[in-house]
Amino acid sequence: MSLRGKAAIVGAALAGCGEAHGKSAMEITVEAVHGALADAGVSLGDVDAIATCQPLDMLSGLTLAQELGLNPKFTMNNRMGGSSFLSHTLWAAMLLELRLADTVLICYGSNQRTASGKLMTALGLPTYEAPYKPMFPLSSYALAADRHMTQFGTTREQLADVAVSARAWAQKNPEAFIRDPLTREDVIASRLVSDPLRVRDCCLVTDGGGAIVMRRAETAKDHPRPPVYLLGGGEGTTHRDISEMPDLTVTGAAQSGALAMGMAGVKPADIDVVQLYDAFTINVILFLEDLGFCKKGEGGAFVENGGIAPGGHLPVNTNGGGLSCVHPGMYGIFTLVEAVRQLRGDAGDRQIAGAELALAHGNGGVLSSQVTNILGTESTL
Amino acid sequence: MAAITLDSEMTDMKNSPGPDAVFAAKLAEGVFEIQKCGACGAHVFHPRVICPTCGSADLEWVAPTGRGTIYARTVVRRKPERGGDYNVVLVDLEEGVRMMSRVDGMAHDEIAAGLKVSASVGEGADGGPAVIFQPEGGVS
Ligand SMILES: [Zn+2]
């Protein structure tokens, strides 16, 4: 028995992206929910399972049920960080396939930009790292970037080109938060924060929310918009703290990607469009390697000189990503929403013509949790 | 991997402080020790209740050689008036375990992967005792 193609995303929406003045995280979340339900043509009362994960509210699943006035059969509140939502889709497919639920809502929202201007997190430094005061989470990613540069000769310019590509995509997306031109030189001249990472290697701090609605494939075509089918999913968790990561150049995406693509019966070369959680520029290089789009150590060359920009050999983060479009603390849901838009043909100037297969990938913690989803149009079933 | 059996170690476990507390107490006395698994021989850091290699609870405290190699390094850039820059490193100890630390006695920009270092107990950023490294062969 496989979950391949058994469940589909039938509604998706964003809300409050950029700056959402005067709104709470849960209010932004519920605005996205309202949009996704309308997009799906589903009434609130039909929702019988919910999933969320919010940075500060440990019981955010319960808060969500309360805000929506629901008494769900399942309330999923797993806390793996920004990858949580790509795990929620897998759990949703299981619940739907086992007929334990009929309509699953997955959502997120944060007001971190207007509320605090920086990353809002309930996390403190780990016991065995606190005495050395690494910046959380930035220094963890900086250590991974340093190691990748040491081990494979990845260059400062290659890291910069990830940010430059994201900006080039953002310039095609009217919803992206920053759309000014950005050059490799701009990135390298930006303020050094934790070597080798500079300000422009780091994701944005914005507000924003997103939501999707999932139903069984057999009823997925009863909704107004074309369904986007979940063809495969997989997870990997290699550590929590960066000092415990077995190899800083190999993430759990090696496992999550293989599991997801194995379930879907696809290989990297089949994928039309890729959405990766780009909290920092190094993430994209690591994930492209671990997911099999290039060999280990060759991610730098893969992204260099517009390799993943518009017109490059692989379209990655077509909305502009967390680096240039939106990053309200946990980005995972946004990889799903952008994948849905691409597979529906709704992506406007940044649309990948004929896109049928998308990969969405979430990262949680400090490269700790990796979750991959393979999504496809009806033609891929 | 062999099935886990509960042995006399487990009875001892119930009545003694956890490994974090034992490590902290040793460090407060100026002693840096890590764990070694009596069942599979693997060294273990950070301190744990059971061996992450084989699952045995038979972990004893041993003194590492203190010698290690820098695996990765970053420098947190901070304005001079707020204390200035400082380095954060990951060190691979000879025993095969890795830990986060700081290298003293060397310019931040000269610290790089491959550098040989040795451990001592010094002061962490929080003012408490912490394992700190220096370039092997002394301060440059
Ligand atoms: Zn063992």
What is the percent of chain A where pLDDT is above 70?
100
Cα–Cα distance measured from residue B140 to residue B138, given in angstroms and rounded to the nearest whole number: 6
Report yes or no on B1 lying in a domain: no
Q: What is the pLDDT of residue B2?
A: 64
Residues A162-193: tens digit of each pLDDT: 999 999 999 999 999 999 999 999 999 999 99
Tell me how far apart the alpha carbons of residues A366 and A49 are, in angstroms, rounded to a whole number. Answer: 29
- CA–centroid distance, B93 to ligand 1, in Å, is 18
Top pLDDT among B12 and A230 is at A230
Q: Given a cut of 70, is residue A198 above it in pLDDT?
A: yes
B139 within 8 A of B105, measured Cβ to Cβ? yes
Q: Choose the closest CB to A132 out of B72, B100, B113.
A: B100
pLDDT value of position B133:
98
Nearest to A243 among B90, B113, B125 (CB): B90
Given the candidates 3.40.47.10, 3.40.190.10, 3.20.20.70, 3.40.50.720, the CATH classification of the domain at A7-117+206-229 is 3.40.47.10
- Whether A128 and chain B come into contact, CB under 8 Å, resolves to yes
Same fold, A7-117+206-229 and A138-174+232-376: yes
Residue B126: list chain A partners with CB under 8 A.
130-131, 133
- With contacts defined as CB-CB under 8 Å, which chain A residues touch B113? 146-147, 150-151
Q: Is residue B26 part of a domain?
A: yes
For residues A80-98, give the mean pLDDT: 98
Judged on CB neighbours under 10 Å (0-12, 13-18, 19+), B51 is buried
B125/A130 touch (CB, cutoff 8 Å), yes or no? yes
Partner-chain contact A143 B126, CB within 8 Å: no
Contacts of B99 in chain A (CB under 8 A): 128, 243
Q: Do B76 and A133 touch (CB under 8 A)?
A: yes
CA A340 to centroid of ligand 1, rounded, Å: 46
User: pLDDT grade, residue A323 (50/70/90)?
Assistant: very high
Each residue's pLDDT, cut to its tens digit, for chain B (140 residues) gives: 567 766 655 556 667 899 999 999 999 999 999 999 999 999 999 999 999 999 999 999 999 999 999 999 999 999 999 999 999 999 999 999 999 999 999 999 999 999 999 999 999 998 999 999 999 976 54
Flag if A133 and B125 touch (Cβ within 8 Å): yes
- The tokens for A118 are 């920086």
CB A184 within 8 A of CB A164: yes
Residue in A129, A135, A194 nearest the CB of B100: A129
Cβ–Cβ gap A134/B72 under 8 Å:
no
pLDDT digits (tens, 9 = 90+) for A98-137: 999 999 999 999 999 999 888 888 788 999 999 999 999 9
pLDDT digits (tens, 9 = 90+) for A306-317: 999 999 999 999
B83 and B36 co-located in one domain: no
Q: B125 and A129 in contact by Cβ < 8 A? A: no
User: Cα(B57) to centroid of ligand 1, in Å?
Assistant: 8
Residues of A within 8 A of B43 (CB-CB) are: none
Residues A60, A54: Cα–Cα separation, whole Å: 6
Of B37, B62, B87, the residue that ends a domain is B62
Contact between chains at A146 and B77 (C-beta distance less than 8 A) = no
> Contacts of residue A127 in chain B, CB cutoff 8 Å?
20, 46
- Percent of chain A at pLDDT above 90? 97
Q: Are residues B103 and B118 in the same domain?
A: yes
Residues B55 and B79 grouped into a single domain: no
For position A210, what pLDDT does the model report?
Answer: 98
Whether B85 and B100 map to the same domain: the answer is: yes
Shared domain check, B97 and B52? no
Give me the residues of A, 173-192, that contact B with CB < 8 A. 191-192
Burial class (CB in 10 A: 0-12, 13-18, 19+), A21: exposed
Count the domains in chain B. Answer: 2
Domain boundaries along the sequence of chain A: 7-117+206-229, 138-174+232-376
Same domain, B71 and B127: yes
In this structure, is residue B14 part of a structural domain? yes
Query: Testing the interface with A: which of B53, B89, B100, B109 to mutate, by most A Cβ within 10 A?
Result: B100
3-class secondary-structure state, position B93: strand
What pLDDT shows up at residue A185? Answer: 98
B122 domain residue, yes or no? yes
The CATH class of A138-174+232-376 is: alpha beta
Question: How much is the pLDDT for A372?
Answer: 99
Chosen domain end from B46, B62, B78: B62
pLDDT tens digit sequence for A258-275: 999 999 999 999 999 999
Structure tokens that stand for A266 in this block: 């696809």
Looking at B62, B82, B103, which one is the last position of a domain? B62
* pLDDT value of residue A116: 87
What is the pTM for the complete model shown?
0.97
A78 CA to centre of ligand 1 in angstroms? 30
Domain identity same for B15 and B35? yes
Residue B2 placed within a domain:
no
User: Are B130 and B72 found together in one domain?
Assistant: yes
Structural domain boundaries, residue B119: 67-135
What b/e sequence results for A312-325 when a residue is b if at least 16 CB atoms lie within 10 Å of its CB, and e otherwise?
Answer: bebbbbbbbbbbbb
Q: Kindly state the average pLDDT of the residues A322-341.
A: 98
Residue B124 belongs to domain with CATH number: 2.40.50
Amino acid at A306: G
| B105 domain-assigned | yes
CB proximity A367 to B under 8 Å: no
Min Cα distance B22 → chain A (Å) is 14
In a domain, B83, yes or no: yes
Judge if B87 and B54 occupy the same domain: no
Which of A5-9, A116-120, A343-347, A360-364 is predicted with the least confidence, judged by mean pLDDT? A116-120
Structure tokens at A331: 């980005």
